[in-house]
Structure 1
Amino acid sequence: MSDSSVIAIDAMGGDKGLEVMLAGVARARRLHDGLRFLLVGDEAAIRAGLSRHPNLSQASEVIHAADVIAGEEKPSQALRRSKTSSMGVAIDCVKQGRAGAAVSSGNTGALMAMAKLSLRTMPGIDRPALAALLPTLGDNDVVMLDLGANTECDARNLTQFAVMGAAYARIVLELDRPRVALLNIGSEDQKGTGEIKDAAQMLRAATHLPMDFTGFVEGDRLSRGDHDVIVTDGFSGNIALKTAEGTARFVADLLRRAFSSSARSKIGFLISRPATDLLRNHLDPNNHNGAVFLGLNGLVLKSHGSANEIGVATAIGNAAKMVKSDLARRIAEDLSNIDAKAAA
Structure 2
Amino acid sequence: MYKIAIDAMGGDNAPAAIVAGVEQARDSMPNVIFQLFGDQAQIKPLVKNTAQLEFIQADETIMMGEEPVRAIRKKKQSSMVLAAQAVKQGQAQALFSAGNTGALLASGIFIVGRIKGVDRPALMTTLPAFEGPHEAFVMMDVGANAENKPAHLYQYGVLGSFYAQEILRYAKPRVGLLNNGTEPDKGDALHKSAHALLTEGHQAGYINFVGNVESRDLLRGPADVVVADGFSGNATLKAIEGTAQTLLHLLKDTMLNHGLKEKVGGLLLKPALKQLASRLDYSQYGGAVVVGVQAPVVKTHGSANAGEVKNTLIQIDQMLEADLTGHITRFVAEHAGELNGQAAANQGEER
TM-score after normalising by structure 2: 0.91
Partner of 1:89, secondary structure, is helix
1:49 counterpart residue number:
46
Q: Which runs of 5+ in 1 are unaligned?
A: none
Is 2:235 aligned against 1:239? Answer: yes
Aligned with 2:90 (options 97, 104, 107): 97
Q: 1:9 aligns with which of 6, 10, 26?
A: 6
- Structure 1 residue 257: deviation in Å? 1.1
Please tell me the residue identity of whatever aligns with 2:146.
Answer: T
Instruction: Give 1:296 deviation, angstroms.
Output: 0.9
- The equivalent position to 1:108 in structure 2, one of 66, 78, 101, is 101
Please identify, of 231-240 and 92-101, the stretch whose mean Cα deviation from structure 2 is larger: 92-101
* Cα deviations by residue, 1:238-257 (Å, 9 ceiling, x for unpaired): 10010000000011011101
Aligned partner of residue 265 in structure 1, secondary structure: helix
- Is 1:197 the counterpart of 2:192 in the alignment? yes
Residue 224, structure 1, aligned to residue 224, structure 2:
no
- Write the distance in 1 (CA, Å) between the matches of 2:291 and 2:326: 12
Identity value in percent: 39
Structure 2 vs 1, CA of residues 180 and 158 (structure 1 numbering), >3 Å: closer, same or farther?
A: same
Higher mean Cα deviation, 100-109 or 114-123?
114-123
3-state SS of the aligned residue for 1:142? strand
The CA deviation at 1:329 is: 2.9
Query: In 1, Cα distance between the equivalents of 2:52 and 2:74?
Result: 28
Question: Is 1:281 equivalent to 2:278 in the alignment?
Answer: yes
Q: CA deviation at 1:77?
A: 2.9
Unaligned runs of 5+ in 2: 344-351
Q: Which residue of 2 aligns with 1:257?
A: 253
Question: Is 1:186 paired with 2:181?
Answer: yes
Match of 1:298 among 295, 300, 306: 295
Partner SS, residue 73 of structure 1: coil
Decide which of 95, 117, 120 is 2:113's aligned counterpart. 120
- Using the TM superposition, give the Cα deviation of residue 66 of structure 1 relative to its aligned residue in structure 2, in angstroms: 0.5
In structure 1, which of residues 127, 137, 141 is the aligned counterpart of residue 130 of structure 2?
Answer: 137
CA contact (8 A) 1:135 1:141 kept: yes
**Structure 1: how far apart are the matches of 2:146 and 2:185?**
23
Inter-CA distance 270–295: structure 2 relative to 1 (3 Å threshold): same
Q: Residue 169 of structure 1 corresponds to which residue in structure 2? A: 164
Q: Distance in 2 between matches of 1:172 and 1:327?
A: 8
Q: Distance in 2 between matches of 1:334 and 1:76?
A: 29
Q: Which amino acid aligns with 1:181?
A: G
Shift of 1:206: 2.4
Q: Deviations over 1:136-164 (max 9, x none)?
A: 20332110110111111111111111112
Question: How many residues align structurally?
Answer: 337
| Inter-partner Cα distance in structure 1 for 2:337 and 2:294 | 21
Per-residue deviation, residues 304-337 of structure 1 (Å, max 9, x unmatched): 0011111111111111111221222332344345
Q: Which residue of 1 aligns with 2:17?
A: 20
C-alpha distance after superposition, 1:155-179 (max 9, x if no partner): 1111111112111212331112211
Instruction: Tell me which of 306, 313, 318 is aligned to 1:321.
Output: 318
Structure 2 residue identity aligned to 1:182 = L
Structural RMSD (CA): 1.7
3-state SS of 2:154 partner: helix
Separation (CA, whole Å) in 1 of partners of 2:337 and 2:250: 52
**Amino acid across the alignment from 2:236:** A
